[in-house]
Structure 1
Amino acid sequence: MSLLLEAERYVANQSSHLALNAFITPLPRRSSRWQDQVKHADLRRAQGKQKSRLDGRLIAFKDNICTRDLPTTCASKTLETFTSPFNATVVQQLEDAGAIVAGKTNLDEFGMGSHSIHSRFGPVKSAHCGRDSDNLSAGGSSGGSAVAVATDQCYAALGTDTGGSVRLPAAYTGIVGFKPSYGLLSRWGVVAYANSLDTVGIMAKETSTVRDVFGILNQYDSRDPTSHPPSSRSRISHRLKSTPLRIGVPLEYNISELAPSVRRSWYRSLEYMRQQGHTIQLVSLPMTKSALSAYYILAPAEASSNLAKYDGVRYGTRFEGRDGDGDNKSEGYLYAKTRGEGFGSEVKRRIMLGAFSLSAQAIDNYFIQAQRIRRLVRHDFDAVFRAENPLTAHALDIEHQAREVGVDVLICPTAPSPPPRISELTNANATKSSLDAYVSDVFTVPASLAGLPAISVPVSGRENVYSHDDEDLAGIQIIGQYGDDDLVLNVGELLQGNGL
C-alpha cells in the first residue's frame, strides 16, 4: 500500500470514529498540506531515499505536547486559546524524520487521571475488541492516543507517562505502550505535570513500531535539564545481556484483587518464556505496597507548584474579576475566579492535596516521607536486578551481591483488572470513587518512581487468541533495569510476536 493511501485511510478513520472522542484537534481531511507531505515521502521511498522508517507516517500527539501548527489545550479551559510558537523537541525530531502530525489527542486535564474522563472536551471512549465497548474506559491519561492507535486513526502516537499514563491505556485498549527510562527522551515543550516523574511514552500496535519511534527520539537535548548528556548515555548503552534470561516474578504483584483473566494472561506469559528456555525466579519488592501512597503525595505536590503559574495574569485564559478589595463581592477575585473556573475538579483536588503536603505543618510527615519511600522503591529494584544501575553503581554493597543472583527483567500485569465502564466512573450512581481510579495505577507506579523502562503488551488469557472477547486480553508489563530499554523492547516483542 502506498503511504498516501495509508494516510488517507487513517484520516478517514478519524472522521468515522468521532464518537470515541480520541482527538481534540484531528487532522483536517481536505487539507492539501499533509497530502503533499505524504506524496513527497512516497516519492522518496520509491527512490530509496527515505528519511527514516517513519517517513510519511501519521503520528498523533497527546494534547499536552506543544505543536506549532495545532493548538495545545491540555484538555483544560485554562489553555483553550493557547497555540505554541514552537514544536516540542519530540515533535520536531519526528517531523525531521519525515513523520506527519496526525492531530492532537484527548486526555485527562493536564494528564491528571487514570481513565481519560476528566477532559474539558468530554471522556474518551474505548473501542477495544468491538463488544459494546464504547462504554469502556480507555485508561488515562493518554487515553486519546491509545484509542487513536487501536482504531487505526494514526500509525503511532506519543503520550506522557507520569505514573502509568501510557501503559494503563495500552493495557485497556489492547495495544503496546512503552515508557522509556527517565531522562532519555526530551521533555522540552511538554507541559509539565510532575517534573521528576514525567516521561514521554510511545504507543503503537506493534513493538517493532515503538522501537522505530524510540530510536529517533532517544537523543540528548540541551534544552531539557533532565535529559541525560552523552557522558551518561555512554554508561547506559552497549551493556552485555545474558542468554537465557532470568525472568523475575514479583510476589507483591500477586494480589487477591487480581482479575482471573489478568492472572491467566500473566501465567501464559511466564509459561511461554519458560518454554523458550528462560529461567523464572520469584523476587520480592517489599516497598511496592507503599509506592502508590508515595506517588499520590509526590505527583500532586509537584503539580501544585507547576500549575501555580496559570493565574490569568502571566499564563492561561483569564476569567475576569476584581484584582483587589471592592464593594461588589459577587465579582470574585481575578486569581481565585481564574483558577476556580479554569481548572476541572480532579486538577483542583490534586492541587489542594499537593499544597497541603508541601505546607510547613505537613511537609515532614508527608512529602519528606514519600521521598524516602521513593528511594527505598528504587533500592528494591536495584537489589533484584542482575545488572547494576548505571546511575548509582557501586553505591551499596547489596547491589553488588545482587549481581550474582539477580534477574534481567520483571514480568507482571499492567493493571489488576479489565477496563471498567465509564458509567461506573462518571454517573450520579457511579460505583467507583476517585480512590478506585487511583488504585488502577498500583502496578505501574513503582517503575515510574524508580525511573525504569517498562512496556505493556497485549496477551490473551486463552490458547485460542482468535476467539477472545474484551476480558480475555490483558496488558502484561515488562520492567527492566535503568537503561535496559532495548532489552525491555526485545522481551515485549518476543511475547507479542508469538501468538500470545
Structure 2
Amino acid sequence: MLPRELTAIIEAAHRLNPRLAAFTSLLSPQDVALAFNEAPRGPLHGVPVAVKDVFCTTQLPTTAASRMLRDYTSPFDATVVKRLREAGALIHGKTNMDEFGMGSTNLNSYFGPALNPSGPHLAKVEDGEARVAGGSSGGSAAAVAAGLCRIALASDTGGSTRLPAAYCGVAGLKPSYGLLSRWGMIAYASSLDCVGIMAKEVGDVRTTLDVLSAFDEKDPTSAPQDARDRIAEHDDSLSPTWTSTNLSGLRIGVPAEYFLAELSPTVMPSFRRTLESLQAKGAILSSVSLPSTPLALSAYYVLASAEASSNLARFDGTRFGARAVEQEADPATRSALYAASRSQGFGKEVQKRLLLGTYALSAEAFDNYYLQAQRVRQLIRREFDSIFRLPSPLIPPSSSTTSNNAGVDLIIHPSSIGVAPRLRPSNTTTTPASSIASYTQDALNVPISLAGLPGLSVPAGVSAGEEDGEGKGWPVGVQIAGQWGSDKLVLKVGEAVEEGWR
C-alpha cells in the first residue's frame, strides 16, 4: 500500500502524461507499490524520482528518445540509478528529452515534445500559447514542475539541465565535471557530459547530490579521491558562517560579457531584484570580465559534435541500434546497411550534428576547427581560474598554487536569454528548433560547461512584460556558478536566492 501523497503523484503522472509528454515510460502503480515495500530506508526513502531516458535502467526501457533505441532495455542500472535505489528512492518513470541530448527545446524527440506546465496556463500542443519545456532535459523539468515527481535526474552537456530548469521554474544543478559517475549514461560528448539534478527546492538538490557524489572506478572521468579531499579543504577555507540569510563577505562577480544583444529585457527585472536581495544579505557584488565568452558557443558545437560523431558511431544497426531490415540479407551491402540504419534510426538534428562532427575531425578541417576549438576551451578555463578567489582542487597544491585574494567566490547571471519560446510561434510554420535561435539559447550556459564548473539555475520570479511576443508571467531563472568543486557553496547561495523569492 502506497502512502496517499505518493499514490496521488503516481496517478497524476499516468493521467497527465498523454498531454504533457514528460515521460517516455512509466511504471504501473502496482510495480511502484512493490518497489516501495522493498525500498531501503535511506535519505530518499519513498521519494518519487524520475530519471532522464539517457540513463540505463533495468525496470524501464532506455531509448535516449530515439527511434534507434526504441526497443532497448538495459541489463544493468547506471551507477547513479543504483545509488538512488540504495538510498530508498522510487524510480517510477523515464523522462522525455531531445534525441541523444541534442537540442535546447525537447522538440527533437521520437516521442514528441514535452510541454511546459509552468506558465499562466497549460496549453495543448496545437495551441499557439503552448511553450517548450527546454532541452535536452525538458521531460525532467516538466515532470518536476507539474508535481509528477519530487526529484528528477537530468544530464547537462551544454546547458541541458539549467536551461529547462529556468524555462519551467525549477532548480537545476550541473555539478562539477567528474563529481557524479557517468557510468551507464549514454554518451553524447564525453568531455562535457554531466549528470544533472532537478527539484522544486534547492534542498532536495543538495540531498540528492550528497547521495550521488562518490568516486566510481567504472567511470574513467570520475574525479579522483584526492581532488575530492581538497574540495573539503577549500570548503573549510571559506567562511563557514555563510548561510542563506547571511552572506557577509561573499564575493559575487557579474560577468559583463553575459549581457548579450539577444538577452530579452523581460528577464532583467527579476535578475536585478535577485542582486539586490543578495546585497541585502551582505554579499559583495562586482563586475568581472570573461572576454572569451563570445567564442564559447562556436567552440562548444565543434567539440560536442566531434565527440558525438565518435560516440554514436557504434549505433550502426549491427552492433547497437535498430537495423534497417530491408538491407540485412546480403553481407556485401554492409555499408548500405549502416547508411540505411543510421538514416532511418537517427532524427534530422542528430544527423546534422554527426555530419558536422565528422567534418570537424576530417584531415582538412581538424586544425582549423577542432584544434582551434580546443584552444578556445583552454582559454576559457584559464579566464575562469583567473577570476576566482581559490584555485581549482583538481590542481595539486604547489608553491605556485596561490589564492587570488582579489578574486570572487562565485559568478551570477541570467540562466537564459529569455523565457520559454512558444512551441509554434504565431503566424509562422517554423518552430524554435528550426531556426538559428535554437543554437543561441544555450549561449549563457556553455562557457561553464567547457570549463567543467558547477552551475545552478534557480527560479527568480517571472517575466515582466510582453517584449518580442514572449508573454508575461513565465518563469525566469538566474544561474550561480563557481570554481570546480564549489558545488556546496553554489547550492548555499541558491538557497539564498530561493528564499528571497518565497
TM-score, normalised via structure 2 length = 0.91
Please report how far the alpha carbon of residue 325 of structure 1 lies from its aligned counterpart in structure 2 after TM superposition. 8.3
Q: Which of 357, 372, 393 is the aligned partner of 1:354?
A: 357
| Residue in structure 1 matched with residue 325 of structure 2 by the alignment | 320
Residues in 2 aligned to 1:346 and 1:433: alpha-carbon distance in whole angstroms: 9
Which of 205, 212, 224 is equivalent to 1:229?
224
Q: How does 1:333-344 map to 2 (within 5 A)?
A: 333-344=336-347
Q: Counterpart of 1:444?
A: 445
SS of equivalent to 1:423: coil
Distance 1:408 1:3, change over 3 A: farther
In 1, Cα distance between equivalents of 2:149 and 2:161: 16
Say if 2:377 and 2:451, in contact at 8 Å, map to a contact too: yes
Q: How does 1:35-434 map to 2 (within 5 A)?
A: 35-39=33-37, 51-134=41-124, 135-239=130-234, 240-242=237-239, 243-322=248-327, 333-392=336-395, 400=402, 403-424=404-425, 428-430=429-431, 433-434=434-435
Give yes or no for the alignment of 1:24 onto 2:14. no
Matches of 1:95 and 1:171, distance apart in 2? 27
Rounded Cα–Cα distance in structure 1 between residues aligned with 2:433 and 2:62: 30
Q: Which residue of 1 aligns with 2:245?
A: none
Letter in 2 for 1:499: W
Letter in 2 for 1:416: I
CA drift of 1:264 comes to 1.1
Q: Could you tell me which residue of structure 2 aligns to residue 466 of structure 1?
A: none
**Structure 1 residue corresponding to 2:483, chosen from 474, 481, 484:** 481
Residues 17/353 of structure 1: CA separation in 2 closer, same or farther (3 Å cut): same
Distance in 1 separating the partners of 2:399 and 2:434: 41
Q: 1:493 to 1:273 in 2, by over 3 A?
A: same
Are residues 263 and 334 of structure 1, via their aligned partners in 2, closer, same or farther at CA, if it must alter by over 3 Å?
same
CA distance in 2, matches of 1:107, 1:426: 27
Partners of 1:191 and 1:451 in 2: CA distance: 19
Shift of 1:163: 0.3
CA contact (8 A) 1:457 1:492 kept: yes
Identify the residue that residue 495 of structure 1 maps to in structure 2.
Answer: 497
Change (3 A) 1:221 1:432: closer
Whichever residue aligns with residue 111 of structure 2, its letter is F
Structure 1 runs not aligned, ≥5 long: 42-49, 464-468
The structural deviation recorded for 1:426 is: 12
Q: CA contact under 8 A between 2:415 and 2:457: conserved in structure 1?
A: yes
Aligned residues: 480
Contact 2:422-2:432 at 8 Å conserved across structures: no
* TM superposition shift of 1:96: 0.6
Query: For the Cα contact (< 8 Å) 1:418–1:471, is it kept in 2?
Result: no
What is the distance in 1 between the residues matched to 2:37 and 2:331? Answer: 61
Q: Separation in 1 of the partners of 2:61 and 2:178?
A: 26
**Which 5+ residue runs of structure 2 have no aligned equivalent?**
125-129, 240-247, 465-470
8 Å CA contact 1:321, 1:332 repeated in 2:
no
Deviates more, 1:373-382 or 1:423-432: 423-432
Please tell me the residue identity of whatever aligns with 2:229.
S
Q: Once the 2 structures are TM-superposed, how far is the Cα of residue 238 of structure 1 from its aligned partner?
A: 3.3
Distance 1:462 1:357 in 2: 39
Deviates more, 1:307-316 or 1:433-442: 433-442
Question: Residues 232 and 393 of structure 1: is their aligned pair in 2 closer, same or farther, counting only changes over 3 Å?
Answer: closer
Conserved? CA contact 1:182–1:451, under 8 Å: yes
Residue 242 of structure 2 corresponds to none
Q: Tell me if structure 2 keeps the 8 A contact 1:128–1:470.
A: no
1:276 partner letter:
K
TM-score (norm 1): 0.91
Cα displacement (A) at 1:435: 2.0
Q: Distance in 1 between matches of 2:432 and 2:199?
A: 32
In the superposition, relative to structure 1, how do residues 79 and 432 fare at CA in structure 2: closer, same or farther (>3 Å)? closer
**Bigger mean CA deviation after superposition, 164-173 or 222-231:** 222-231
What is the Cα-based RMSD across aligned positions, in Å?
Answer: 2.4
Question: Taking every aligned residue pair, what percent have the same amino acid on both sides?
Answer: 47
2:119, 2:473 within 8 Å by CA — same for their partners in 1?
no
